[in-house]
Structure 1
Amino acid sequence: MSSLDVALKDMMSIDGAIGVAVVDYESGMALGQLGSSKTLDLQVAAAGNTEVVRAKLRTMEQLGLKDEIEDILISLAGQYHVIRPVTGRKGKGLFLYMALDRKRGNLALTRHRLREIEEHLDI
C-alpha cells in the first residue's frame, strides 16, 4: 500500500471526516481522494481549493512574508474545510484537504492528526 493510500485512509479515520484528498496545487488535480458524501464533489473541491492556496501564497509573496502556511481553515455552518500544504521536500506543491462535519469532529484534534499525516507522507 502506498504512502498516499495510507494517508487518505488515516485522514478518513478522523472522527467527523466527510471527504479527503491529496491535491497538486500546480495542476489542481487530486492525486487521491476518499469520501462517501453525495453532496461533496472532491474533484471540484480540489480545483477550487487550489485557487485558495494559490491566492494565499501570492498574497504572502506580495507582502514579503517569509513564512509557511500551517493550514487554512474555512468554517461553514455545518462543516470545517481544512487545507494543509505539505512542507516536506518530497511533497512540495501538494496539500491535504479535509471536509469535516462540525458536530462530529474535533477541529483541534483534526489539525493535530493532519500535521502528523503530512509529516509521514512520502510521494
Structure 2
Amino acid sequence: MNIDTALKECMSIAGAVGVALVDYESGMSLGTSGGGDWLNLELAAAGNTEVVRSKLRVMGALSLKDTIEDILITLHRQYHLIRLIDSVKAKSSLFLYLVLERENSNLALARHQLKRVEADLYV
C-alpha cells in the first residue's frame, strides 16, 4: 500500500488522533494525517526522531544484535506508538508515529493493526 493509504488505515484504528510517516535520519515527515491545534504532528515527528536515534545509540553501545519493533510512550490520556519500518524492505530509516486517545483505544489491537500496516507499506 502507498503512503496515503497507509496513513488512512492508521487513522481508522480506534482512538487514533494523528499519524505520521517519518524519516529518522532527517527528522522530516513523508506524510501526516490527523493532528490538529493541540497536536503538531510535524513537531512531534521531528522530536520523536531523537527518541529513535537515542535508543539505536544505546543498543549499539550495548552491542545488542537486535532490532526495534516499536516504542511505546504512555501519557495520562494518550499512547504514542513508534513503529519502525522493516529497514530491509523499505531500504531506509522510517517509522510510523501514531497518537491514540487512551480512553478510546485498545493498545494491543492498535499495535497489531499498526504492524499490519507496516508490513503492507511500500515507499
TM-score, normalised by the number of residues in structure 2: 0.96
The corresponding residue for 1:108 is 108
Would you identify which runs of 4 or more consecutive aligned residues in structure 1 move more than 6 Å?
none
CA offsets 1:27-73 (integer angstroms, 9 cap, x no match): 00010000043210000011000000000000000000010111000
Q: Matched residue of 1:74: which SS?
A: strand
Distance 2:87 2:25 in 1: 16
The within-5 A match list for 1:22-37 is 22-37=21-36
Aligned CA RMSD, in angstroms, stands at 1.0
Give the corresponding residue for 1:94.
94
State whether structure 2 residue 123 is matched by structure 1 residue 120. no
Partner Cα separation in structure 2 for residue 77 and residue 8 of structure 1: 25
Distance 2:71 2:80 in 1: 8
Q: Which amino acid aligns with 1:45?
A: A
Unpaired segments of 5 or more residues in structure 2?
none
Q: What corresponds to 1:8 in structure 2?
A: 7
C-alpha separation between the residues in 2 aligned to 1:17 and 1:61? 32
TM-score computed with the length of structure 1 as normaliser: 0.96
Percent of pairs with identical residues: 57
Q: Which runs of 5+ in 1 are unaligned?
A: none
User: Size of the alignment, in residue pairs?
Assistant: 122
Query: Which residue of structure 2 lines up, in the alignment, with residue 47 of structure 1?
Result: 46
